[in-house]
Chain A
């Protein structure tokens, strides 16, 4: 048996074992780690088929981005909300196993009985080497034959990101923003000039330190600039004008 077949069987064994681990793991974090192992082995099979660029993309996008996202969501979701595995209904499990076995038989028969009808492409090893490698050849194909699809995919990603942000926003965002705006630090108005300002119009309070109104305030200087603290930024902007 050639070496590459032995290596393929090793990779496939690890891949299928970790895929089964994803399905049967009780702890969702363990399932995520199993999924990382499975994706890394799929990247290894991509390398065996000469798709080096795709292998790197697989590692970066799947194990680097998507799985980290999944694990973050796992940490954010309350663990009490997660149902146990073994509470799955027996009917569900029997039907799932049965359908899986049937599909495996069908796909196995299809793979073993298939015939190649498509025309062979020109991406032979010599041509790819002439183009400079897998990445260069793939880039030429992506930016010439599949240019429109490439642009549409970028649009899909943009819409997906916007949709994810909108969906994941907290419910009462306005209140949260108004809460976070309290206690801001305003730069630029020396405390002494604010104390000397008259009271603002229509119920606005003058900008003095309300807890300890001191007639001779000591300005805190940071890097030569005077800093003052206010509790409400809206109040700050309505009092007087800057001298």
Chain B
């Protein structure tokens, strides 16, 4: 891999995705888990752009823009749920949260 190829970006993307996945699996803080999900979404964006770059196609970048938009909506809704949970349940521990009710 002397030249800068798509494999470089794909390995970086895979590393970021797996680090994010490990964070989701091992952390218990709801906010940290949320950040790790954002990290995984970004890793997927990176591989989308990398494939588009390899194939000389703009669809990868277009798809990444849609992903960013949906991730923004997801962030708004997810953070609102976290706020509502922190008001009702008084904990951010995913092991303690068992329902969305009081």
Residues of B within 8 A of A57 (CB): 65, 68
Contact call A123/B3, Cβ cutoff below 8 A:
no
What's the minimum C-beta distance from B76 to chain A, rounded to whole angstroms?
4
A82 to B84, CA, bound (A): 15
Are B56 and A121 in contact, with the CB atoms below 8 A?
Answer: yes
Per the CB 8 Å criterion, the residue count for chain A at the interface is: 92
Q: Is the interface of A mostly helix, strand, loop or mixed?
A: helix
Shortest A64–chain B CB gap in Å is 11
Could you tell me the distance in whole angstroms from the C-beta of B2 to the nearest C-beta in chain A?
A: 7
A111-B57 in contact (CB<8A): no
Asked whether B8 lies within 8 Å of A12 as measured between CB atoms, the reply is: yes
Q: How far is the CB of A114 from chain B (nearest CB, A)?
A: 9
Contact between chains at A73 and B79 (CB < 8 Å):
yes
Asked if residues B39 and A78 are in contact (CB atoms below 8 Å), the reply is: no
Contact assessment for B46 and A19 in the assembled complex, using a CB-CB cutoff below 8 Å: no
Task: A22-B32, A160-B73 given; name 7 further pairs at CB < 8 Å.
Answer: A25-B32, A31-B31, A38-B39, A57-B68, A70-B79, A83-B28, A141-B61
Q: Measuring CB to CB, which residues of chain A are less than 8 angstroms from any residue of chain B?
A: 1-2, 4-5, 8, 12, 15-16, 19-20, 22-23, 25, 28, 31-32, 35, 38-39, 42, 45-46, 48-51, 53-54, 57-58, 61-62, 65-66, 69-70, 73-74, 76-78, 81-83, 85, 87-89, 92-93, 95-97, 99-100, 103-104, 107-108, 111-112, 116, 118-124, 134, 137-138, 141-142, 145-146, 149-150, 153, 156-157, 159-161, 163-168, 170-171
State the B residues within 8 Å of A (CB).
Answer: 1-4, 7-12, 14-23, 25-29, 31-32, 34-36, 38-39, 42, 45-46, 49-50, 52-59, 61-62, 64-66, 68-77, 79-84, 86-87, 90-93, 95-96
What would 28 A/B residue contacts be, using CB atoms closer than 8 Å?
Answer: A5-B3, A20-B19, A22-B39, A49-B53, A51-B64, A53-B61, A54-B49, A57-B65, A62-B68, A66-B72, A70-B31, A70-B34, A76-B86, A77-B92, A78-B86, A83-B92, A88-B26, A99-B22, A100-B22, A111-B10, A120-B56, A120-B57, A123-B52, A123-B57, A141-B58, A149-B66, A168-B79, A168-B84
